[in-house]
Structure 1
Amino acid sequence: MEPPAARTAPSPAPITQAPASPEPVTQAPPSPGLLLSDPAELILLERQGLSFGQQLGVPAEDAQSLLTSPRYASFVAVIERDLAELSSREGIALSQFPLDPKRLNYVFDAKWLRSPRARFQLVGVVNRLDMRFSTPKECGQLRLIYRLALQPEGRPVVRLPMTLNVIRPLPLGPGGSCRAIAQQWRALPANASERVAMVTRMVTRLPPMSGLETNFQNLHGPGTPDADDHAEYVLRSFDVRRERLVPRPLLNTPRADLDPAERKALLGWIARNFMEIDAGRSVIPDRFLATRAISVSPRGLSRPANRVFSVLFNAEVDSGAFAELPYAKAKRVRSPRGLLRRLDGFTCAGCHQSRAVAGFHLPGEERDADQTFNALAVGVSPHLHEELGWRGRLLASVAEGTAFVEPRPFPERPSSVGFYGSHCGLGDPTFADWTCQAGLECRDSHHDEVGFCAPAVRTSGDACENARVVARPGASGDQLVADAPEECQGQPPDGIPCITNRFGFPLGSCSVACAQPGARSGSSVCAMMLVSGYEQVCFPLEEPIEDCVRKRGFVAAMTTRACSVDEPCRDDYGCSRYPGSAPGTGACVPPYFLFDFRVDGPKLDR
């Protein structure tokens, strides 16, 4: 077995000029009426009443003090039961330190939820008017997104892979209309301080917290010869009932253990509601739904665990049970396989693993503008950034009082433009219009219905090793059957080698040693990468991780793809800051290179 999430640096080779990539399509910045994500504004909003503790009615913000809230205490009790169950499986490490070479799957530390050093930082205020389809007595929801952060003694704040979503209902206006509230959100001032004041007033007038959702990484495991780094995420939703949080069914997420009668009944429901499914506004009855889901990463919907509908109804598709549905009348779904993928994308697991950053769509911008080690450059996922365009058109339509008939896009493909990394069709009629920009081709990365848009000539940061996922039960994740590595930039493998899946690079990555970190060449950039062995050596030491990897030679300058919010990374990579990078720009790296996306990490920081 390879060491945990092993990283490797190829032998030095001269950096060469990358071929030109298609010009990025610069999208308009998100309207503040849809998303507030600037850290400075969020800090002010916390101070003016939008902190997590204030949503719970608790004067303090640390996790230990939050336990005085019955709502928070009841939430923690549910999560602790989940962790106790999931951590009892074979192959789970009893603790991270000392490292156990036979048990390398590390789990979320429940003590963080009770720690005086932990708090939940506001990372986003999101107007979800588009959720009205699931809340017909309301105008959708306002969502306050918080991320768990830890303050280790004498160390910078560490963000951890857990988000909480506090739900505040958006009430109906006169005559059951949502026009007035849509107009309010569209009219937010351009001036930041005025905008913060107006949002504070608007939120204060809303009904109180009605629910809470969480997404957290319960497990992170190593790369092995037949698998990538592997992570699991727990997804739960809660209703507020008096002073407690009580688990509720997950929206459009069926139980995997439906019995034959329930499967037949759900099959009938799908057939009767086909046009609503196509439009993206279907709501599955509670009797079919799960109250907990586990999503897995990397590799999105190629992972069977993220596709509960496909697992439940694969045989029905093969038998022709979905063949006679009115595909000719549909706007999005044109085939049985496309229908299953549409349904899978609307589940909690499927959505959170579609064009995400390690299973998250809003991990949040870094609060420290000067931090470059272990720091994310772009705090929203490609899915969220692109879908804001559709949400903006919906918001404008409601504000103007016009009918809005554009169906919700697939979470994998929120935009009609086939950017680098966009998912694209490989022959199924549903995905026929999922094409790529000129200069890109649809790469058959996982040998299923869709691939992703990639350059025909592979250069730094591009994929170079396709793979097929084979389902395998247990905590260690699925088996990966990789194709032979491909040549990069048309050169022999020893010229610009393919760093393969087993070293923590999903679908492989073309790279070459470089001399000037921060130097750009075409679509590539020279960035500092972690290399093999740093976890075993540096994680257990009581020494700052940034000092350990530098002094012991566990970093190397390597080329990868440059990125920004308008030049997104491909699936399973995050846009990471590097010294000298302009705000909002960075280098594409696997997100588990960033320790705040994994439950295991340096001892001083955990």
Structure 2
Amino acid sequence: MRLCLSLIAVLLGLVAPVAVAQADEGNGLAVTDPGVLRALETHGTHGLGLAQLLDTARSIPIPNDALFALPAMTPVRAALDDAFTHYLAEHQNRQPRVSIGVGPGHDVQLFDKVMLTSPDARFILAGIVNRMDRAYVAPDTCGEIRLIYRLTRTATGTTPPRLPMTLNLVLHAKDPNDASVTCADLAARWLDSAPFAETGVALADRLLKPGGPLATITAAHIDRIETNLQIAHRPKSDTREFRTDYLQKVFRFDASAKQFREASMEDQIDRDRLLADAALGRAFRDWLLAPKNLRAFDRGTVLIPEKFLATSSLASTPVGFAPSVLQPEFGLIDSKGKGVFSDRDIVNALERAASQGIALENIRSPAGFARRLNDITCGGCHQIRGIGGFHFPGADTLAEQSQGTVPASPHFIGDQPRRRDIVMAMRNGKAADFSRGFSDRPQMRGTNELAGSPLLDGWGATCYRPKQNGVADKSFASWTCAEGLACQQVGGDASSAIGMCFVK
């Protein structure tokens, strides 16, 4: 098992190689080796191919035409078809002179949705990630395990073979009714797997055997599917900048109907409805600014009620650094009081929390509130420090290689110390600290491992540029650069307080 040791980051409009601090290899929180993933997907008795888990009668991976013919997947296909239709209609109405379609000759290249149901493509297991750090959402299931599949052309000679779409099959880490396995047991299994020396089939067998970290993965534990695809991209031209749009959706498994149903996305704020419905907007403001909820919001563990949420997200890259240009908070916060929140609303809420003895770690200003409002959402998080619109593109298991590294985003790598800290606490029977920092900047708990790297304060790190002769924003004052580096402007927005660490 390996974590990425190097990557190509598409970071807020900068497309350049970025040196990343080496994360602990084999830290027991992810399965990323191509040879092991190939063996796990095609395992004779416990195959982790997508089709095998959705239809236990299947013993081998199947192409997409057969996959989307499964009754469980019918609603997924219908919802994605509707999303394409809506996207095309909306953008053609907005930009009637811009040609949007599949293939050469169009200003905007649309994702070829034929590949979703093509016999020459399938979703290939590209990674397995331990997300027991999400046990705050469902403590009785000890969090989640995510199987990440990448859409890939399988026909010989196709270029490129891997397509810009991932499908995450999210499972409960354990059966809440199974008393034979505790959260501590499961955490220990994962952490104990770090030094396993086997490779390929031998390691796959060991991970799957009773007592192994993957032994609990069964179809009965399936909770939902999460899809993320690059629905369209606009190549750079003399008149237009490069842009890509990523569509994200969630489908929860309905056990009674044995189908996946389109569902609200966790913390994906429906800004359009909140802005259009004044009463709903006020209800959201009052709920989020209540001291108890504001504390959870600051910690990154808030769970926003479903009535305020959307069923899809459209995230665009590149985006700028300033919170005012990031979705979805743009329009929700308005200093003149025309949005859902005003600066005064936020300042009053912070003062009220402080008067009740509630210490906030991240949100100490309206700007910090705005940035957190963006990065708790699915779309906002994927806009920040991602590889394009992805945080875990996964291993290319069809390439002719027995070993390899996995491209993972700076956000993913930077969050690993926090995730490992939580899993270790669970193993040791201690109370876990589920809080997290901003997507831009890891928490200080990873300082020793990440210091001097682009993940924290090294070259290319996100940093804060206080205004001359001004008061530093308390939300970002700790976003400094390592010795020899200075926080400098990136892009054309000279007014932005957020920059990147570069050589002085």
Is residue 2:178 matched to residue 1:178?
no
- Please, which moves more after superposition, 400-409 or 81-90? 400-409
What is the aligned partner in structure 2 of residue 239 from structure 1?
A: 252
Q: Deviations over 1:531-584 (max 9, x none)?
A: xxxxxxxxxxxxxxxxxxxxxxxxxxxxxxxxxxxxxxxxxxxxxxxxxxxxxx
Matches within 5 A, 1:325-344: 325=350, 326=353, 329-344=359-374
Answering whether residue 314 of structure 2 is matched by residue 294 of structure 1, we say yes
C-alpha offsets along residues 375-409 of structure 1, whole Å, 9 cap, x if unaligned?
Answer: x9751111101111110111111111122336312
CA drift of 1:131 comes to: 1.1
Computed over aligned residues only, the root mean square deviation of the Cα atoms, in angstroms, reads 2.7
Which residue is 1:571 aligned to?
none
When structure 1 is superposed on structure 2, of 269-278 and 146-155 the one drifting more is 146-155
Indicate the residue corresponding to 2:475 in structure 1.
430
Q: In structure 1, how many angstroms separate the alpha carbons of the residues matched to 2:164 and 2:416?
A: 23
Matches within 5 A, 1:254-269: 254-257=269-272, 258=274, 259-269=277-287
Q: Distance in 1 between matches of 2:374 and 2:78?
A: 29
Unaligned runs of 5+ in 2: 1-17, 448-455, 467-472
Segment drifting more, 86-95 vs 391-400: 86-95
Q: 1:323 aligns with which of 331, 340, 347?
A: 347
How far, CA to CA, are the matches of 2:65 and 2:162 in structure 1? 17
Report the alpha carbon displacement of residue 301 of structure 1 after superposing the two structures with TM. Answer: 5.5
Separation in structure 1 between the aligned mates of residue 346 and residue 102 of structure 2, nearest angstrom: 47
Q: How far apart in 2 are the matches of 1:287 and 1:379? A: 36
Deviation at 1:319, TM superposition (A): 4.3
Number of aligned residue pairs: 427
**Which residue matches 2:437?**
409
Q: Counterpart of 2:125?
A: 122
1:218-267 deviation digits (Å, cap 9, x = unpaired): 11012245643111011101111122211111111111221111111111
- How far apart, CA to CA, are the structure 2 residues paired with 1:370 and 1:435? 42
Q: Does 1:41 align with 2:36?
A: yes
Native 8 Å contact 2:343 2:366 kept in 1 = no
Following superposition, the deviation at residue 211 of structure 1 comes to: 0.7
Match of 2:10 in 1: none
Please give the per-residue CA displacement for 1:157-207, whole angstroms capped at 9, x wherever unaligned. Answer: 610110000011123475996222111211225123454224324545343
1:192 paired residue number: 198
Residues 1:386 and 2:414 are matched in the alignment = yes
TM-score (norm 2): 0.78
Q: Which consecutive unaligned segments of at least 5 residues does structure 1 have?
A: 1-21, 457-606
In structure 1, how many angstroms separate the alpha carbons of the residues matched to 2:322 and 2:359?
28
Query: 2:313 corresponds to which letter in structure 1?
Result: A
- Structure 2 residue 425 is the aligned partner of structure 1 residue 397: yes
Q: Is the 8 A contact 1:144 1:167 kept in 2?
A: yes
Task: Identify the match of residue 222 of structure 1 among 235, 251, 265.
Answer: 235
- d(CA) in 1 for partners of 2:486 and 2:230? 33
Q: For 1:200-599, list aligned pairs within 5 A.
A: 200-201=208-209, 202-206=213-217, 207-225=220-238, 227-241=240-254, 242-257=257-272, 258=274, 259-272=277-290, 273-299=293-319, 302=322, 306-315=326-335, 316=337, 318-324=342-348, 325=350, 326=353, 329-367=359-397, 379-405=407-433, 407-414=435-442, 416=447, 417-427=456-466, 428-445=473-490, 446=493, 447-456=495-504
Q: Which amino acid aligns with 2:488?
A: R
* 2:387 aligned partner, one-letter code: V
Q: Deviations over 1:29-57 (max 9, x none)?
A: 251x2111111111011012111111221
Identity in percent: 29
Q: Which residue pairs with 2:80 in the alignment?
A: 79
- Higher mean C-alpha deviation, range 439-448 or range 114-123: 439-448
Distance in 2 of aligned mates of 1:98 and 1:288? 40
1:138 maps to which of 116, 138, 141: 141
Structure 1 residues 125 and 287: alpha-carbon distance in aligned structure 2, compared to 1, 3 A threshold: same
Is the contact made by 1:253 and 1:290 (CA closer than 8 Å) also made in structure 2?
A: yes
Using a 3 Å threshold, how does the CA distance of structure 1 residues 182 and 98 change in structure 2: closer, same or farther? closer
Query: Structure 2 matches for 1:21-170, cutoff 5 A?
Result: 25-31=21-27, 33-48=28-43, 49-57=47-55, 58=58, 59-88=60-89, 89-90=91-92, 91=95, 93=99, 95-100=101-106, 104-155=107-158, 158-170=161-173
Cα 1:176–1:23 shift into 2, 3 Å: closer
| Paired residue secondary structure (2:333) | helix
The C-alpha deviation readout for 1:449-496, integer Å capped at 9, x for no partner, is: 42122223xxxxxxxxxxxxxxxxxxxxxxxxxxxxxxxxxxxxxxxx
Normalised by the length of structure 1, the TM-score is 0.66
